[in-house]
Structure 1
Amino acid sequence: MKLQELITPALIQLQVSLYSREAAIQAGADLLHAAGRTTAGYAEAIEANLARFGPYFVIAPGVAMPHAASPSEVLTAGVSVITLAAPVHFGHERNDPVRLVLTLAAPDQASHLAALGQLAQRLSRSGVVDQVIAATTKETVLNILTEEN
């Protein structure tokens, strides 16, 4: 799947005031659930991963990509995007605090790896993370994250 299929305007919220990593995880999972991409239990699956493995999904400075290998909770692949009004600490020793939360839902390992690879490639480009965090419209976020070149 292309990022254009994984991220839609309904899966984006900008400058959200959240005050804990649990609230950020829940908010990202709620967007996926509201869009019909996951069941209501997906946030719990992510929280279980966090409890078991720690905040490994804080993948870069300021960026968290919560996810869980939970095929029973994922109906179809998707990525929710939340920019935070104020940074939230996830407990990662190098990449905290977080300002961008990309919650990934994938029904199987192949789609998980494909989505993760596309997002990582896009986010590794110079300035992209800062541009997404500074964006004031959902359309701007979509353009930044799904731009082909």
Structure 2
Amino acid sequence: MTKTIAMSFSFKLIEKDKINCIIPLMQKLTNNKNSDAVLKERFAEMVEQNYECAGVYDGDILIGISGMWFQTRHYAGKSMEVDHVYIEESYQGKGLGKQFFKWLYSYATSKGCNISELNTYVQNYPSHKFYYNEGYEIFGYHFYKTL
């Protein structure tokens, strides 16, 4: 499923065997929290689960990503959980994120989803504004514990 929004921007799924192409953008998003080797290992496992990833392209150049987890939730039914959304800084603030999410919603609907959910870091205020404008509501808290 590919949709072009402007002369050179397009959105499309990233093939499982090409998933490592997202690593440079993930490193920017997470400030190099994990090594490339760790990310390669984790993505290899993720693509064999209910995970997919979509990219934003300026021509042939990957400038944005969003992971998508698909599952059925007892409280929501079939849903898409958006994960690690990132668009290169020089492309932000131009409406590209809104168009990307429109594509993500359409893709999720085509897979039978009726809900989109996500987590965002408490300190990431620009993302909060964006997600509120997209119609997301705060449903709960996300807790994390290292085992």
TM-score (norm 2): 0.31
Higher helix proportion (structure 1 or 2): 1
| TM, length-normalised to structure 1 | 0.31
Structure with more of its chain in strand, by fraction: 2
| Relative contact order higher in (CA < 8 Å, ≥ 6 apart) | 1
